[in-house]
Amino acid sequence: MENYLIAMVTFAGIYGIMALGLNVIWGMAGMVNLGLVGFFAFGAYTTTLLTKDFGVPIGLGIAAAFVTTAIAGVVVALVTGRMRGDYLAIVTLGFSETVRITASNEIWLTNGTDGISGIPGPWRGEVSPETFNLIYLGIVAGFVLVVFLIMQRVRYAPLGRVLRGIRDDDQVVAVAGKNVIAIKAKAFALGAGVLGMAGAIYAHYTSYIAPDGFVPLITIYIVLSLTAGGTGSNLGAIVGAFLVVFFMESTRFLTAVVPGLEAVQQAALREFLIGASLIVILHLRPTGLFPERITRHEAPEPPASGAALKERSQP
């Protein structure tokens, strides 16, 4: 049981890193990204090809996954620079499907739908599966912490402020003299890089990747995590990811104790419960469990002459 719990916390941590990556793009900058599983896959394949075929050390593979996926993010951001809302959502969804279908068909590179197995993991095979599990939990926890701290830094830095500005009204930001497209590209690069890194961490953990594993279902999990946790909030992203994994896993045990259900009914009930729990959360807390908190400074008392100025400027 302990081993199972450790594995699930590890999964939740990886989802949490993904949610943090999505949070920069969607939560902070307001760009709807439904293609995040594409970046996740990109990172996973990058490190897999490097570490398995070229013997690159795992740490370097993960770093390379970050860099290459960030570059892919910049490309996507520049292509979609002028799109917003639904249009951006569709294009990014298209991006992730393109990655998946490319991975399915470029067999020489990705081994096609068979996927790639035997991806190395740190000390895998040298230690017992339980110890490996524990080591990996530590690694993932480290990554979650580091990414969280960086994202908090971004949030409170001038960049984070401008990103929120773009989210609320990009024309105002442009009028204020900011290069909106460049800043969007920056946010996309950072978020995509983190998503790619999560993919790399995932690949080294499970030791097997295949196009089938990079379906939009994963995107939905992460979007749900962020929505439930609180869009825009880094703490919310991590808590949301843990919550989604908790729902997915605890429902296995709950449905097993309901008497008189056939297996397929249990499976359906489980999916129903996961959906219902999230609806309940969002109904009770529409902005998520940990909504974004923005410190608003009170406007200073206008000086007497200022009041006169204000009056005059009114039409």
- Positions in the binding site for other proteins (CB under 8 A): 1-5, 7-8, 11, 101, 104-105, 107, 112-115, 117-118, 129, 206-208, 210-213, 215, 217-218, 246, 248-250, 252-254, 256-257, 262-264, 266-268, 270-271, 285, 289-291, 293-296
Considering the complex, state which of residue 60 and residue 267 has its C-beta at the smaller distance from other proteins. 267
Considering the complex, state which of residue 8 and residue 91 has its C-beta at the smaller distance from other proteins. 8
Strand-pair category, 208-209 with 116-117: antiparallel
Closest approach, Cβ 4 to other proteins, in A, equals 3
The 3-state secondary structure of 45-61, one letter per residue: HHHHHHHHHCCCCHHHH
What phi and psi values does residue 123 have, to the nearest 5 degrees?
Answer: 60, 15
Does residue 52 contact residue 233 with C-beta atoms inside 8 Å? no
Closest approach, Cβ 11 to other proteins, in A, equals 6
Closest approach, Cβ 293 to other proteins, in A, equals 5
Closest approach, Cβ 262 to other proteins, in A, equals 7
Considering the complex, state which of residue 188 and residue 199 has its C-beta at the smaller distance from other proteins. 199
Report the length, in residues, of the chain.
Answer: 315
DSSP-derived letter for residue 81 is T
Q: b/e map of 74-108 (b: 16 or more CB within 10 Å)? A: bebbeebeeeeeeebbebbbebbbebbebbbeeee
Structure tokens at 129: 């599966």
Distance of alpha carbon 178 from alpha carbon 227, whole angstroms: 29
Q: What is the dihedral of CA 224, 154, 46, 12, to 10 degrees?
A: -40
Per DSSP, helices labelled H in 106-178 are 107-110, 129-156, 158-175
Considering the complex, state which of residue 179 and residue 265 has its C-beta at the smaller distance from other proteins. 265
Closest approach, Cβ 3 to other proteins, in A, equals 4
Considering the complex, state which of residue 107 and residue 309 has its C-beta at the smaller distance from other proteins. 107
Considering the complex, state which of residue 187 and residue 251 has its C-beta at the smaller distance from other proteins. 251
Structure tokens at 268: 């359906």
Residue 209 CB neighbours (<10 A): 25
Distance of alpha carbon 57 from alpha carbon 76, whole angstroms: 28
Closest approach, Cβ 78 to other proteins, in A, equals 26
Considering the complex, state which of residue 116 and residue 190 has its C-beta at the smaller distance from other proteins. 116
Closest approach, Cβ 231 to other proteins, in A, equals 14
